[in-house]
Amino acid sequence: MTDATEREMLYDMVRRFAREHIAPHVTAWDEAGEFPRQLYRQAAELGLLGIGYPQELGGTAATHSLRAALWLALCRHGGSGGVLASLLSHNIGLPPVVALGSDVLKQQVVPDVLAGRKIAALAITEPGGGSDVAALRTRARREGDEYVIEGEKTFITSGMRADWITVAVRTGEQRGASGISLILVPGESAGLRRSPLHKMGWQCSDTAHLFFDGVRVPASHLLGAEGEGFRAIMQNFNGERLGIACAALGFAQACYDEALAWAQQRQTFGVTLNQHQVIRHKLVDMQQRMRSTEAWINAVCARADGGDSGADWVGEVCVLKNHATQTMQFCADTAVQILGGMGFMRGTLSERIYREVKVLTIGGGTEEIMKELAARQWRI
């Protein structure tokens, strides 16, 4: 079976899952501020949570191109950034565990998450700084066979109900990348408090402010060696940014689908909207940006699948994230314009995605940081 065939089959499976189990319920879930935990189990039963993870941990090895198909289908046909963010939060929380955790820790944590029984999250951002990871202040001091964690994290996706949280802490000097480590914290730990955050979008995704007040964690939960966390965080960001680019394209396509359907049935001045040249040209502008983004994603995934993860590829991922989120922004804005008054109404897909654009231009690295990182990779 070719990779193209596998990708088509996976896309079709996720499309059917999203249309049946997600899209009809998203508006109600947004109003409730969460989606049912049962959705994790349903996604896991299809193998969706395990894509890209080792088979011995309950996953399925997959190329970057195959993973892209999952993100694209889930976003285009599910139409909710909130569902995407929390349902797949393990894709930023688990990779450091898989890469750096002990065999015992991996077996304890990963299979349950991939089976949908547990939820994993990543906690890096702090109230005093976002993009400047090297300046984080949350500390972990070693006391015998434990680490004791003090500090705060904010804007943490799945932070309210995560069972496992991969936390960036300072174990070395007061400032700088070399003093940062990663520790896996159980969600039920004494001294861990959580406070919900209310957002412009992603309303059905729980987002939390976390407080660590003398949280004790076994020393065996250290991921890798002390002081090696910063490098792991940067590597983790590459996968997150590529996933964001795929998500942005899927959401742009969702906006196009809704705008096209509306233009084909809505009548003004005796004809349907798509019979007006100005509307047709807006739809073509959307296609232009989506097609360029799709071609770029395919090219970057192909490079990664060929083993390329060098500086040039990292720079390309950064600017691809910018390009894809700008495509999403353009398509969401254009779709709302084509829908007119209906595009301003809660319940339309384009209205929801319009509110969700900015979090993708910020999360995983802001546009400004992406440009600067690309400049450094390309020695500009």
Catalytic residues: 240
Nearest to 227 by CA among 192, 166, 183, 186: 183
- Alpha carbon distance 172, 152 (integer Å): 17
Distance CA 357, CA 247 (A): 11
Strands 164-170 and 120-123, sheet pairing: parallel
Q: Tokens 């007119």, residue?
A: 340
Q: Contact, 64 vs 242, CB < 8 A?
A: yes
CA distance 315 to 246: 16
The Cα–Cα gap between 57 and 110 comes to 6
**Pairing of the two strands 180-186 and 139-143:** unpaired
Quote the CA–CA distance of 325 and 56 in Å, as a whole number.
35
